[in-house]
Amino acid sequence: MSQASPVFSPLYRQIKDLILRELASGEWRPGEVIPSEAELALRFNVSQGTVRKAIDEMAAENLLVRRQGKGTFVATHNDPRAFFRFLRIVPNEGGVAVPHSVPLECWRAKAGQEAARLLEIPPGSPIIIVSRLLEFGGRPVVLDEIYLPGETFQGMTLEMLQESQESLYTLFETRFGVRMIRAEERLRAVAADRNSAERLKVGEGAPLLSVERITYTYGDKPVEWRRGLYSTVSHYYLNELS
Amino acid sequence: MSQASPVFSPLYRQIKDLILRELASGEWRPGEVIPSEAELALRFNVSQGTVRKAIDEMAAENLLVRRQGKGTFVATHNDPRAFFRFLRIVPNEGGVAVPHSVPLECWRAKAGQEAARLLEIPPGSPIIIVSRLLEFGGRPVVLDEIYLPGETFQGMTLEMLQESQESLYTLFETRFGVRMIRAEERLRAVAADRNSAERLKVGEGAPLLSVERITYTYGDKPVEWRRGLYSTVSHYYLNELS
DNA sequence: GAGTGGTCTAGACCACTGC
DNA sequence: CAGTGGTCTAGACCACTCG
């Protein structure tokens, strides 16, 4: 017998996809409540338990946030609890220090081979490059160079970055409607070149932690590529494995 | 009114704790099946749905593994899918290469201040120190120094490590009844000293990725402290953020 | 008190495994 | 075929939030 296609998609996954579509379309925006479980159950014509299971999975993936008595909300980076979700740097001693972002430059360019491949855009498409410093307690710790697809981030300027009091990803959400949901980081140890040594106030050739990050939005679409150089003298990169 | 203690523990969490206790006590061993949901429901005198929710959480925490039609199993490191759960090193190009462990030394010592603090044992207690090299395709990539509480790992020898065909954590499970369930890694960039440069075949002073890991077993008890030096020339450390 | 998510139950049926 | 986990339902009640 010829094999039937083995796709069996449970109801709750189909519901999940429907909710996902609303999120991706921007119909329900970051920080907003989504309809109640009861209403979604009615709308989709399934039981509340099925809606519940769909939302459960999405909450586990940090796409939604449940708050008992209030409702279910679209996750946002503008939430203190979400702030360190993608930033794994921690001071050697002392509690959590809030970093301060210092935008250095913002310019336009055309995507080279590597940027094009990683951002999944045609080579030569417009991109925006941002460099900035992250300081903890006034001391430089991370030097970032950030590559963004020009089409998605049209209108980004250095002034915008400098004036913004929010985190970068919050800015992306509010000004460009782009929500970061997942990232991959590739870590290496490298020697500081002249420029980064100067910026990070370490000796030339000093060992730095190189962190390359590709960040994805809905539908596994890459929308950011960045390379950070971390000075790991008074801070370290913390990773919890489970 | 004086505040009542705000502990409200749902039934399924109490069930979870009961199951956890069985795991911690070694009653149900790694790789074995645990009783079926129906049987547990009977035994604990709750509905199957409640048992199910408890197991759901534990499966999400990699403590249990469900297999439809077969049963629910105690998670083990002796499972190909679990192999890279704690080892985040990946070759720059090419698929997954299986590493080869080369035990170098194994000796006994007394815990110093730092080891005692991290392993939560009294200073001066016996510890075992293992050093070993991890090779990919015959080339050295990781140099590990591993500190173990002597009491838990009594009888560990270099020969045992050399003869073992399994991964270190599999050996810990089968020979010492210790299952690793969670770890914290602290990453820094450092310069290679003479010894590690030689072992890893890089120049003295070359940048290396320093990975300090504390590994915990049931009950958040630390049972391993290790420091790895990673050569990130042809490999990198991959971290997925979500 | 009305509305939200959170827990618990009981039962029906489906998908997968192995004898 | 029996036994396992996986899905779906319907309904009751609890805990939390807010007006």
- Tens-digit pLDDT profile for residues A108-144: 999 999 999 999 999 999 999 999 999 999 999 999 9
8 Å CB contact between B71 and B36 = yes
Strands (E), chain B: 33-34, 64-67, 71-74, 89-91, 99-110, 126-136, 139-149, 182-191, 207-217, 221-230, 235-241
Q: Sort out which chain A residues have CB atoms less than 8 A from B93's CB and list them.
A: none
pLDDT in tens, B165-182: 899 999 999 999 999 999
**Bridge partners (DSSP) listed for residue B131:** B105, B145
Report yes or no on A115 lying in a domain. yes
> CATH number for the domain including B44?
1.10.10.10
Report the distance from CA of residue A194 to the C1' of nucleotide D7 in Å, as an integer.
Answer: 60
Instruction: Among B187, B220, B227, pick the best mutation site for testing chain A contact (most A Cβ within 10 A).
Output: B187
B71 touches strand D (CB under 7 A): yes
Give the model's pLDDT for residue B80: 84
Q: Does the pLDDT of residue A5 top 80, yes or no?
A: no
Phi/psi for A237 (5° steps) reads -95, 120
How far separated are the first and last CA of chain B, in Å rounded?
A: 43
- pLDDT bucket at B1, cuts 50 / 70 / 90: very low
Report yes or no on B87 lying in a domain. yes
Contact B232 A187 (CB under 8 A): yes
Same domain, B53 and B99: no
pLDDT in tens, A40-96: 999 999 999 999 999 999 999 999 999 999 999 999 999 988 888 999 999 998 777
- Pick from A148, A139, A141: nearest CA to A169: A148
Contact A209 B190 (CB under 8 A): no
Q: Does the pLDDT of residue A29 top 80, yes or no?
A: yes
The residue among B49, B74, B99 that closes a domain is B74
Same domain, A104 and A218: yes
Same domain, B111 and B223: yes
**Bridge partners (DSSP) listed for residue B34:** B72
Sign of CA dihedral A187, A190, A193, A198: positive
Same domain, B176 and B58: no
Q: Does the pLDDT of residue A103 top 60, yes or no?
A: yes
Considering all CA atoms of chain B, what is the largest pairwise distance in Å, rounded to the nearest integer? Answer: 70
Which nucleotide's C1' atom has the smallest distance to the CA of A41? D9
Report yes or no on B96 lying in a domain. yes
- pLDDT bucket at A6, cuts 50 / 70 / 90: low
> Which of strand D's nucleotides are less than 7 A from any protein C-beta?
3-11, 15-18
Structure-model confidence comparison of residues B6 and B201, the more confident one:
B201
Distance CA A214, CA A216 (A): 7
Same domain, A44 and A85: no
Domain containing A111: what range?
80-237
Q: Does the pLDDT of residue B163 top 50, yes or no?
A: yes
pLDDT in tens, B4-29: 445 689 999 999 999 999 999 999 99
Report yes or no on B4 lying in a domain. no
Distance CA B35, CA B44 (A): 12
Query: Taking residues B207-212, what's their average pLDDT?
Result: 98
Structure-model confidence comparison of residues B80 and A26, the more confident one:
A26
**Bridge partners (DSSP) listed for residue A103:** A132
Give the model's pLDDT for residue B6: 57
- pLDDT bucket at B95, cuts 50 / 70 / 90: confident
Distance CA B150, CA B127 (A): 4
Token pair of B111, please? 């815990």
pLDDT in tens, B18-70: 999 999 999 999 999 999 999 999 999 999 999 999 999 999 999 999 999 99
**How far from the centroid of its chain's Cα atoms is residue A159's Cα?**
21
Give the model's pLDDT for residue B4: 42
The proportion of chain B whose per-residue pLDDT surpasses 70, expressed as a percent, equals: 97
| Per-residue burial over A11-48, b = 16 or more CB atoms within 10 Å of its CB, e = otherwise | ebeebbeebbeebeeeebebbeebbebeebbeebebee
B123 touches strand D (CB under 7 A): no
Give the model's pLDDT for residue A189: 98
* Whole-structure pTM value: 0.94
Same domain, B152 and B132: yes
Distance CA B49, CA A227 (A): 46
**Bridge partners (DSSP) listed for residue A129:** A107, A147
pLDDT in tens, A162-191: 999 899 999 999 999 999 999 999 999 999
Min Cα–Cα distance to chain A from B196, Å: 15
Token pair of B237, please? 């450390």
Min Cα–Cα distance to chain B from A21, Å: 19
Query: A113 to each of A124, A127, A152, B181, B198, how far by Cα in Å?
Result: 8, 12, 19, 41, 36
Same domain, B109 and B45: no
Distance CA B18, CA B20 (A): 5
Same domain, A154 and A66: no
Contacts for A57-61: CB closer than 8 Å, 24+ residues apart: A57/A12, A57/A16, A58/A16, A58/A19, A58/A20, A60/B60, A61/A181, A61/B242
Same domain, B109 and B18: no
Report yes or no on A5 lying in a domain. no
Give the model's pLDDT for residue B2: 39
Min Cα–Cα distance to chain B from A107, Å: 28
**Bridge partners (DSSP) listed for residue B110:** B126
Give me the number of domains chain B comprises: 2
DSSP state of B239: E
Q: Sort out which chain A residues have CB atoms less than 8 A from B210's CB and list them.
A: 189
- Measured CA angle at A114 (ends A127, A182), to 5 deg: 75
Query: Taking residues B120-138, what's their average pLDDT?
Result: 97
Report yes or no on B3 lying in a domain. no
Give the model's pLDDT for residue A1: 38
A66 touches strand D (CB under 7 A): no
Q: Does the pLDDT of residue B190 top 60, yes or no?
A: yes
